[in-house]
Every structure is written in structure tokens, then in C-alpha cells.
Amino acid sequence: MNKRKLGTSELYVSEISLGCMSLGNDVEQAKSIIDRALDAGINYLDTADLYGFGENEKIVGEAIKGRRDDLIIGSKGGNNFDAEKEDWSWDPSKKHIKQACKDSLKRLGTDYIDLYQLHGGTIDDPIDETIEALDELKKEGLVREYGISSIRPNVIREYVKRSQIASVMMQYNALDRRPEEEILGLLEKNEVSVLARGPLAKGLLSTKGYEKAQEKADGGFLDYTEEEVLSITRKWKELGSQHRTPTALALQYVLHEPTVATAVFGARTLEQLEDTLSFLESEPMTQLLYSEIKDMTTAITYQKHR
């Protein structure tokens, strides 16, 4: 599998990577999914301390025993949670960030986290204090690189300007193209990579996307109406051909953007994982196809706002 450089770091991540939030609580099933992903060439696993109030990190830690050297681990912190009460609050303080990272290391059963990310953020945070914590974690060797997971352009701009982030994780797919207008140019200029989460738009752009839309399109998706969702997913299924599945097409669209280092997908089952791995057998996306997708989604995304 092709790999892309993460920012200006020495980390190279596979073009598609496994988001572990969906793995569930069965360690053996999680291990079977992770093993298959790694065997297929995926080398980046993404989790967070808040997923399952720490349980997801424990499951990932158990599943990767004996394979730590084969992969790059990303986790996130910034939410101070009480697992017993299943409650949490935002806490970007230096004290919490440093302790949260150390707690994640214990749950994952590893000495270092390759990419540690701030799990959110607001413009009113003590940003310099948070950056100081992340810088110290890196100097101490507990993390190799750090980044943020955010959908807020104003927060992203501050971290680009004031820190040494290697990456920004954000939602990006053919149905949610806001990053193209708001932030990708800035990140490319500053050599900060994107980890694109939600590349399948909650499954609407997957191989079974049209069927999902028929069941769940009620209420639409972002600015799209139910009718628009059904129209796009029907066309999306038609665009998928013998040369690529609709799932592969969705991943190719995201990865056509050079700032994107990896498309982070979730998989609850081996069947879902195998569908995503169809990406590896697909013909490259042509510029004509890419333009067709942009024309199709732009017409529906923005026409109502003109």
C-alpha cells in the first residue's frame, strides 16, 4: 500500500487507515479486524481516550500485542472523563494533557504514541499552555509527533500559527467539502497534513450507500435534503464500476487532495473491512472522474446558497 508523509515528520502513514472507535468490545473480533488491516498494508490505527471511556485504547492495546513495530498509533486527549459516571468535560490544561497522555500509554501498553492529538479545542482555550504540554511530551519521548482533531477553522489557524503540529484530523468527504474552501490551502502552505475522517459520509458513499440512504436519508445529510441524498447516492452507485467499488471511489476522491495523508475509515466487521480494502484493487481515479464528482456535489451543495 502506498504511504504518505505526515507533515514534515518522519512518519509515513498508509493511504487508508483504521479508525478504531467502531471496533466494539470483543477483543478477539477487534484483533481479527486489526490483523487483517495490518496484513493488507494498513499501518495507522487511530483511537482516543474518550472512546469507551478508555476501553477502546485497552482493546487496541490487547489486539496489537506482538505487532507494535508494524504500525503507527494515534490517540487523542483533552476530555477529562469519569468512566464510572460516563461523563466528561473539556480540559485542555497542561496538567491534564500530560496526565491524559500517560494514562493512554498505560491502556495501550506502549512506551510511546506516534501521533498524539488534541481531541477538540476552542478559541477560548489556553492554547499556548496546551502547546507547551504537547511540546514537552514530544521532548520527553512519550509522543513522536502531535496534532489536533478539529473542525473549527479559527482553532486550526491558531495551531498552525503557534505550534509544530504535524496534522489536523477533520471530517472530509465528497459530501462534506467544506475543508476545500476553508482550510486545505492553509495546511498545504504550512506543510501540515490532513487525516480525513468520515470519508464514506456515514456509509452513504459506501458500496451499500444507496440502500443505506433509502433507509436512513430521512432528514438529509448536512445541507442536503433527503431527495438530494437519494439522488447523489444513486449516481454514486452508478459511478462505481467494474474498475472500482463506490467505497473505493469515495476514498480515491479524498486522497486526490495532496494535503490528505490518509483516509481514516471505521469497520465493525470483517465484511466492512474487506469492502474498504477493495480500494487496493481499484484503477487510479482520472481527472475527468474527479471533476465529474466535484461538479455533481457542488451543484447540490451550493446552489441553494447563491
DSSP per residue, 163-224 = S---EEEEE-BTTB-HHHHHTHHHHHHTT-EEEEE-TTTTTTTSTTHHHHHHHH-TT-BTTB
Residues in the chain: 306
Cell of 253: 476522491
Residues near 106 by Cβ (< 8 Å), separated by ≥ 6? none
Instruction: Spot the catalytic one: 44, 51, 116, 224.
Output: 51
Other beta carbons within 10 angstroms of residue 38's beta carbon come to 18
> What is the distance between the alpha carbons of residues 169 and 17, in angstroms, rounded to a whole number?
12
Which residues are bridge partners to 79 per DSSP? 90
Q: How far apart are the first and last CA of the chain?
A: 41
Known active-site residue 12: no
CA distance 164 to 84: 35
Q: Which amino acid is at 89?
A: S
User: Residues with catalytic annotation?
Assistant: 51
